[in-house]
């Protein structure tokens, strides 16, 4: 057996990410996503999460049916078609590489088809519902801070003093920034402290294909962000580095945590359930309804094509009637 062939989970993931970065020249964002897809598949196949766990037997027995079962489980748990399509693409790339590397007996994903991407618009909040969601989150943050101040140190259950209040402040800032900037969840998680220009109320966002854009945010988001930054030191650890948003253990926040924050906030506020992408779409819709043209929305969302922007935005019937009445001579 080739001594350079990865035999453990850790070695496999390292070799896979090196291949994606060096051989295929994919962006850092795509490499992280594809590595996460492989980690998820290994977990589904029963590979121990320990870095030293062997992967050889599982890979040698991998079949197309296994990949289809994994995607079916993801679909059943509510993953969007776009996510399933990307994971299918990741596994086709992995299968070809692993077969050529001698890890698979055959290229098992050759006939793995991606589901058609669902072009239906995601859920969108009304302006009033968005206001309710953010107001409820602000109220929770105030309550958590008061509870932290009232609790004597010996009775605090949090791993660190004031952690509950800090997490609530973080959640509020996340919600405000998602709505204010229309950022994708991965873009938000990738933000560093240096990306924020508080004096100009703008944030530098690295989007798909490592394309950079500068997005403004409003006064409510600025207040929420200031509130979070004031308590961020309560959660910092050696793993924090320059990450703007932190998880409970101090490392850079994970997209899954952000999705949970948005879903819980919607439930608490009594508004229709939605995820981070729903807030992104809500922001674009509200800016468009306020009078912005599609080119502005395209820049805000970081779309390469205006056609993509047209799919993500829609105009209310009332605004359409109003524009028609002003513009058409026989209205």
Choose the catalytic residue: 87, 277, 281, 286.
Answer: 277
For the question of residue 211 being annotated catalytic, the response is no
Give pairs for 87-94: CB < 8 Å, separation 24+. 87/37, 87/40, 88/112, 88/113, 88/114, 88/115, 89/114, 90/33, 90/34, 90/37, 90/38, 91/37, 91/38, 91/41, 91/67, 93/20, 93/24, 93/34, 94/16, 94/34, 94/37, 94/38
Q: How far, in Å, CA of 23 to CA of 15, rounded?
A: 11
Cα dihedral 162, 163, 164, 168 in deg (nearest 10): 110
Catalytic residue, candidates 184, 232, 234, 286: 184
Please indicate whether residue 23 is annotated as part of the active site.
no
19 counts as catalytic: no
Told to judge if 303 belongs to the known catalytic residues of this protein, a careful annotator would answer: yes
Closest among 79, 99, 4, 98 to 277, alpha carbons compared? 79
Q: Which of 208, 252, 259, 263 is catalytic?
A: 208
Q: How far is CA 95 from the centre of its chain?
A: 25
- 140 flagged as catalytic: no
41 vs 25: CA distance, rounded Å: 23
Q: Order of strands, edge to edge, in the sheet holding 196-197?
A: 196-197, 202-206, 212-216
User: Does the annotation count 314 as an active-site position?
Assistant: no
Closest C-alpha to 127, from 247, 14, 279: 279
Task: List all residues 6 or more positions away from 266 whose beta carbon is below 8 Å from its beta carbon.
Answer: 133, 272, 273, 274
**Active centre residues (catalytic):** 184, 208, 277, 280, 303, 312
């Amino acid at each position: 057996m080739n001594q350079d062939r990865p035999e453990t989970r850790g070695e496999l993931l390292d070799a896979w990410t090196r291949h994606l970065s060096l051989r295929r020249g994919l962006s850092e964002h795509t490499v992280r996503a594809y590595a996460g897809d492989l980690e998820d598949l290994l977990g589904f196949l029963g590979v121990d999460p320990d870095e030293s766990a062997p992967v050889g037997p599982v890979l040698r027995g991998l079949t197309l049916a296994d990949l289809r079962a994994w995607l079916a489980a993801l679909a059943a748990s509510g993953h969007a078609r776009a996510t399933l399509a990307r994971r299918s693409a990741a596994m086709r790339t992995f299968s070809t590489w692993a077969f050529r590397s001698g890890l698979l007996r055959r290229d098992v994903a050759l006939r793995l088809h991606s589901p058609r991407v669902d072009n239906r618009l995601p859920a969108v909040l009304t302006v009033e519902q968005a206001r309710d969601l953010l107001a409820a989150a602000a109220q929770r943050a105030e309550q958590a801070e008061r509870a932290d101040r009232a609790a004597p140190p010996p009775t605090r259950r949090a791993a660190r003093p004031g952690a509950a209040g800090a997490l609530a402040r973080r959640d509020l800032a996340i919600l405000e920034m998602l709505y204010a900037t229309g950022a994708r969840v991965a873009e938000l998680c990738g933000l560093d402290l240096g990306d924020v220009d508080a004096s100009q109320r703008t944030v530098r966002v690295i989007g798909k294909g490592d394309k950079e854009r500068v997005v403004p945010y409003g006064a409510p988001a600025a207040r929420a962000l200031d509130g979070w930054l004031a308590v961020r030191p309560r959660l910092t650890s050696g793993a924090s580095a320059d990450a703007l948003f932190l998880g409970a253990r101090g490392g850079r926040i994970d997209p899954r945590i952000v999705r949970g924050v948005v879903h819980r906030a919607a439930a608490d506020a009594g508004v229709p359930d939605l995820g981070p992408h729903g807030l992104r779409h809500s922001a674009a819709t509200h800016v468009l309804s306020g009078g912005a043209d599609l080119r502005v929305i395209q820049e805000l969302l970081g779309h390469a094509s205006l056609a993509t922007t047209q799919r993500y935005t829609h105009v209310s019937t009332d605004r359409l009637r109003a524009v028609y009445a002003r513009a058409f001579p026989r209205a």
